[in-house]
Structures are given as C-alpha cells and as structure tokens.
Amino acid sequence: MAEDRKTDAQWREQLSRDEYKVLRQGGTEAPWTGEYVDEKRRGVYRCRACGAELFASDTKFDSRCGWPSFWTPMAGDRVRLLEDDSLGMRRTEVRCANCDSHLGHVFYGEGWDNPDDARFCINSISLTLEPADDAQ
C-alpha cells in the first residue's frame, strides 16, 4: 500500500511547519490544543500527509488524555507499529503504513473497555476528518 516516497523538500513544500514537525519529524502537539480532541462528528479520519483512511469515528473515545484516542485502526495494515525508546521509556509509535508519517503512540493495558484494551493516542495535526454524509 506504500505510496511513492517523497523527498524531504517535497514534504516541506506540502506541509505546514507544524504539520512537518509532527508528521515527518515525530513531534507531538501540545495536549488539549488539537482540533479533533473533542470532535463528535461521524466519519473517517485520514492521514493529513497522504489521505490514507486510518481510523473510523466509531472507534474514537474520550480518554481524557488531551489527544484524540481510538481503540483500533480501520484495519491492521493501515498503520505500522514501531518500538520507541525515546524519552527514557518504552512506547509503541504509530505511523501511517502508506507514507510512513508519524501519527502518535498506542498504549495497552490501561483498563479501557475495548477488545484490545488499547488507546491509539493520535495527534490531531496528523489527521483530517472526512465527515459522514449524515454527520451532525
């Protein structure tokens, strides 16, 4: 599913400075600042860099962590999971499988009432919402 790889210069031209920092350099937006933290409309969340469908709104839940949270991607092959030992702790990074952009991290075993006890903690700036036709 991987798209043709863009050069760093092409990504810098396509993305805003803040988008580039998160999507291409693995940064994180500040908590509670993203446009989708409190979003309730139905629809599909896509990768802001390449447009790949990543998460469905019916898997989004309020984890009270300051970033949009989902309990699963639309399909397992939509994202890549990488071990991340930065910041002195072990985490699992979530990347778009299509364009390899950084999306956020996934955490397991926190006691969430979903099939995998998972929280995909995703930066709003990594996503765009395509609202469903009947979204309110």
Considering only residues 1 and 105, tell me which one the structure prediction assigns the higher pLDDT: 105
Distance, CA of 45 to CA of 130 (rounded, Å): 6
Assigned token pair, 27:
């940064």
The residue ranges of every structural domain in the chain are 9-130
CB within 8 Å of 100: residues ≥ 6 apart:
2, 5, 80
pLDDT value for 85:
80
Distance, CA of 100 to CA of 113 (rounded, Å): 29
Catalytic: which of 47, 50, 99, 121? Answer: 121
pLDDT tens per residue across span 10-60: 999 999 999 999 999 999 999 999 999 999 999 999 999 999 999 999 999
pLDDT value for 84:
81
pLDDT tens per residue across span 77-125: 999 999 888 767 788 999 999 999 999 999 999 999 998 899 999 999 9
Catalytic (active site) residue 50 = no
**pTM of the complete model beyond 0.75:** yes
Fold designation for 9-130: 2.170.150
Q: 3-class SS at 134?
A: coil
Distance, CA of 21 to CA of 28 (rounded, Å): 8
H/E run at residue 107? strand 102-108
